[in-house]
């Protein structure tokens, strides 16, 4: 409602609402409050009618948003109205989740030795690490796992095993860049 009223109207509206809430409003003030609300509703209705008319013209003349607005304006409006995530927000990626002997482990900072040793041994031996992955279909987490293993061991995971995990070398390199940052 505040967007439909001028600053002075909104201030008076707020005052009258407070009086109404405390039951100290006079009948003249109640009428004034009703008039303010009616004006705001009329502005809202007028804007809605104008938008419908504009939408009708856009459809009639087959005008696309790209003809009216720049890509930057469209992107900013989409972010403003929550249609796309703000570029300021970082994409949240969950840490790799591993499993060994039926026990789950999250690889946040340090990995417990009870899974670290067999995982690193398998990696260094050139074996597949798929059996250690708790979420084998999560390609982002798989790429992060491989990137961490490569960074910590200095080794390179075999291309055939990357294919087995449905990830590419580019995904691993991207995950490694995120780790470095």
Summarize pLDDT for 118-137 with one digit per residue, the tens.
Answer: 999 999 999 999 998 888 88
pLDDT exceeds cutoff 80 at 88: no
| 104 φ/ψ angles, rounded to the nearest 5 degrees | -85, 150
pLDDT exceeds cutoff 80 at 94: no
From the list 167, 164, 170, 161, the residue with the least C-alpha distance to 125 is 161
Contacts of 23 (CB under 8 A, 6+ apart): none
Predicted pLDDT of residue 45: 92
Predicted pLDDT of residue 95: 76
For the chain, the maximum distance between any two Cα atoms, rounded to a whole number of angstroms, is: 87
Burial of 133 (0-12, 13-18, 19+ CB in 10 A): buried
Strands 103-106, 97-100: pairing is: antiparallel
Mean pLDDT (the chain) is 85
pLDDT exceeds cutoff 90 at 30: yes
């Amino acid at each position: 409602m505040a967007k439909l009223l001028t600053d002075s109207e909104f201030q008076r509206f707020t005052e009258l609402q407070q009086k109404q809430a405390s039951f100290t409003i006079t009948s003249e003030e109640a009428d004034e409050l009703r008039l303010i609300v009616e004006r705001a509703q009329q502005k809202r209705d007028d804007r809605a009618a104008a938008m419908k008319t504009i939408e009708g013209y856009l459809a009639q003349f087959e005008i696309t948003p790209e003809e009216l607005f720049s890509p930057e304006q469209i992107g900013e409006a989409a972010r403003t109205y929550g249609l796309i995530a703000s570029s300021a927000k970082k994409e949240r990626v969950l840490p790799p989740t591993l499993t060994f002997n039926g026990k789950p482990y999250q690889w946040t900072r340090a990995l417990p030795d009870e899974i670290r040793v067999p995982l690193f041994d398998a990696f260094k031996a050139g074996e597949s690490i798929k059996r250690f992955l708790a979420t084998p279909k999560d390609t982002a987490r798989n790429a992060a796992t491989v990137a961490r293993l490569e960074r910590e061991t200095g080794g390179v995971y075999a291309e055939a095993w990357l294919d087995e995990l449905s990830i590419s070398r580019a995904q691993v390199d991207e995950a490694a860049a995120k780790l470095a940052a």
